[in-house]
């Protein structure tokens, strides 16, 4: 078991907590993390880009000019793809880019991402934020105590007070344990865990 300090909102050590080695001490393989991040980014693509073929454009029924006698190349429709304003050949169409990977690989990648942050010394466990109400100023004050410019904060459950206090602060994101993912862990250089979320992380990932 790895031991990590538990601090308060003033960045002062108040106790210690043991972290599961199977969650924070896994060998990191960049190839697996890369595959999961690519999957997440693909799943977030909207796939709504669309173009019209020559058959979908309005008009084009009349022949632009007669077949012979003008000296110009024959043309049957103004919707031809070789004309400006004509249809598009092999253009993008609405599609679904999403795909999935085995659950075991997803869980392994989560454990690797957490282990990578812990190995770097960028994991902080805090007992409680101690915010009395929804106040961005109070949230920023706490984060300034840790000198964190960019940080992912993980809570046990949906914390409306904390998430609304952080939403206007640039460089921070608050996620419940149920929403923790590889992309966000790797995106933010610092990871802050509310003490109550550690046990729930184990329940979710170590199934």
* Structural domain contains residue 172: yes
Q: Read off the pLDDT of each residue in 164-178 and give the average, rounded to a whole number.
A: 93
Backbone φ and ψ for 28, nearest 5 degrees, come out as: -90, 130
| pLDDT-derived band at 183, boundaries 50, 70, 90 | very high
pLDDT digits (tens, 9 = 90+) for 91-146: 999 999 999 999 999 999 999 999 999 999 999 999 988 888 899 999 999 999 88
**Is 61 domain-assigned?**
no
Q: Report if residue 60 sits inside a domain.
A: no
What is the C-alpha separation between 127 and 195, in angstroms, rounded? 5
Q: Determine the Cα–Cα distance for residues 80 and 163; give it in Å rounded to an integer.
A: 53
CATH assignment at residue 23? 3.40.1370.10
Domain count for the chain: 1
User: Does the residue 118 lie in any domain?
Assistant: yes
- pLDDT tier at 147, thresholds 50, 70, 90: confident
Cβ neighbours, 10 Å, residue 120: 11
Range of the domain at 167: 2-46+98-205
| Residue that the structure tokens 């459950």 belong to | 157
Q: Confirm whether 87 is domain-assigned.
A: no
Mean pLDDT computed over every residue of the chain: 92
On whether residue 11 sits in a domain, the answer given is yes
Q: Is the pLDDT of residue 205 over 80?
A: yes
Residue 74 lies in a domain: no
In-domain check, residue 117: yes
Sign of CA dihedral 15, 21, 25, 29: negative
Strands 123-126 and 172-176: unpaired
Q: What is the pTM of this model?
A: 0.83
């Amino acid at each position: 078991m790895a031991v990590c300090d538990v601090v308060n909102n003033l960045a002062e050590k108040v106790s210690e907590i043991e972290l599961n080695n199977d969650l924070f001490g896994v060998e990191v393989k960049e190839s697996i993390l890369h595959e999961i991040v690519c999957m997440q980014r693909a799943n977030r693509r909207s796939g709504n880009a669309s173009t019209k073929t020559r058959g979908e454009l309005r008009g084009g029924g009349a022949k632009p000019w007669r077949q012979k006698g003008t000296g110009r190349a024959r043309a049957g429709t103004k919707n031809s793809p070789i004309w400006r304003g004509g249809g598009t050949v092999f253009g993008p169409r609405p599609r679904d880019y999403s795909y999935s990977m085995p659950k075991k690989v997803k869980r392994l990648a989560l454990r690797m991402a957490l282990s990578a942050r812990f190995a770097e010394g960028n994991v902080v466990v805090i007992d409680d934020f101690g915010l009395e109400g929804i106040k961005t100023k109070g949230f920023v004050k706490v984060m300034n105590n840790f000198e964190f410019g960019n940080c992912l904060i993980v809570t046990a459950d949906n914390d409306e007070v904390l998430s609304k206090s952080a939403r206007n602060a640039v460089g921070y994101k608050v996620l419940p344990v149920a929403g923790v993912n590889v992309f966000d862990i790797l995106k933010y250089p610092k990871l802050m865990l509310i003490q109550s979320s550690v046990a729930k992380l184990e329940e979710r990932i170590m199934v």
